[in-house]
Amino acid sequence: MNALSTMLLISDAFVELCDEMPLRKVSISDIVERTGKNRKTFYYHFENKDRLIIWIFRYDMGQCLKQHFSESVLLYDDDPEDPTSRFPYYITQKSGVRSLDHAEFFQCFAEVLEGRRNFYRQALVDNGPYSLRNYLYALYLEAMKRDIDIILSNRYLPKDNIDFLAEFYTCAFLYYYIRRCDARGVESIGGQAGPFANIIHSSLENEIKEAQMRRNL
């Protein structure tokens, strides 16, 4: 069994156990017993449960993005030591020189959460320093800053403004999906965005454009 197969075996066992008991109560011993492996095998691939949860998300997101997008628009980590770096986590899909259309990315994000909704509902409750929630914030905050640079396209905006925009829109999109994932009466995590599916980036583009116009007046 190769490394990826072993990691998938461990991750699938963990998700199954989370359907049978609360995630916080699932132990490493429970996971290795379910897989028939030993603790040494688990720790060879994953530092702890937090890293396993993050790996599961990155695997799920990577598979979803590869199904929906061509390789040319996929964004990967640069760290070859990180086992998640083989999976794309984001896209860069331009719809003009200073415009991005990431509507389908957000659909993928919702699709990933829906695919293992009970698991992600539990995983996203944790707000600890090494939690999935904080990992996603750090991951997509940097991605949003990169998007802002593309939208700016060599135009100037103070760093404090860029940081504010990146944090505001990252929090907006993550909180929306995390809240809907946890909401019991919500059937579709993605909601009915319709013509507003690209609202994050269209809003960013409009706000930056208006700020530039005000500076030039």
pLDDT at 212: 82
Decide: 26 and 54 in contact? Cβ < 8 Å: no
Decide: 74 and 66 in contact? Cβ < 8 Å: yes
At the topology level, CATH places domain 1-46 in: Arc Repressor Mutant, subunit A (1.10.10)
Q: What is the location of CATH 1.10.10 in the chain?
A: 1-46
CB contact set of 199 (below 8 Å; sequence gap of 6+): 193
The CATH code of the domain at 49-216 is 1.10.357
Mean pLDDT of 179-190: 90
Res 217 pLDDT > 60 = no
Decide: 84 and 47 in contact? Cβ < 8 Å: no
Mean pLDDT of 68-86: 93
How does residue 216 score in pLDDT terms, banded at 50, 70 and 90? low
Q: What is the location of CATH 1.10.357 in the chain?
A: 49-216
pLDDT at 211: 85
Q: Which amino acid is at 13?
A: A
